[in-house]
Amino acid sequence: MSELAQTPTRPLRVSANDVPANRRRGGDIRVVLSPKTVGSTSGFMGTLTLAPGEYVTEHYHPYSEEFLLVVSGRLTARVEDAGEVDLVPGEGLLVPIGKRHRVWNAGAEEVRAVFHLSPLAPRPELGHVDTEELPAASGGAPVPDVGGPRR
């Protein structure tokens, strides 16, 4: 059995400041706790920071639910079959498996949020499907690497 297939037996701590930002889909996305960083086996978690006017392009997750919790600012989300919803600090949103969604900051202050996706896709490259053209400023950054193949 590979090391990643085993659930960690002790708490593992990772700072979002030590994880490189991924801006490929917009905003500052940092995958903090994942199969790659801590050996998690059921999902991954990270932070999202959006400056005023920034957004994360529309996409969906064919295998995972996405949980979003706003820490500061005001985040707007559009979810397939549910329309738009504004979230303020302390409010969360569940995006069901397979539903297209997009988030953005229409306000004047920075948005900070935490996200979690679970369960993991069978392979990392199957976990995220883009449905909107990516921002030109992305520089072709790679898809966040949350871990190697699952066995």
Determine contact, residues 36/120, Cβ cutoff 8 Å: no
> Tens digit of pLDDT for each residue in 120-150?
999 888 999 999 988 765 444 444 555 443 3
Instruction: Enumerate the β-bridge partners of residue 132.
Output: none
Model pLDDT, residue 6:
61
Please state, in angstroms and rounded to a whole number, the distance separating the CA atoms of residues 74 and 88: 5
> Tens digit of pLDDT for each residue in 13-30?
898 998 889 888 899 999
Model pLDDT, residue 125:
86
The domain 25-133 having CATH identifier 3.40.50.300: the answer here is no
> Tens digit of pLDDT for each residue in 57-103?
999 999 999 999 999 999 999 999 999 999 999 999 999 999 999 99
Range name among 7-16, 31-40, 109-118 with the lowest pLDDT average: 7-16
End-to-end CA distance of the chain: 8
Element (H, E) at 77: strand 75-79
Model pLDDT, residue 4:
47
pTM of the model: 0.83
For residue 35, cis peptide bond before it (omega within 30 degrees of 0): no
Q: Any idea how long the chain is?
A: 151
Residue 134's contacts (CB-CB under 8 Å, 6 or more residues apart) are: 24, 25, 26, 57
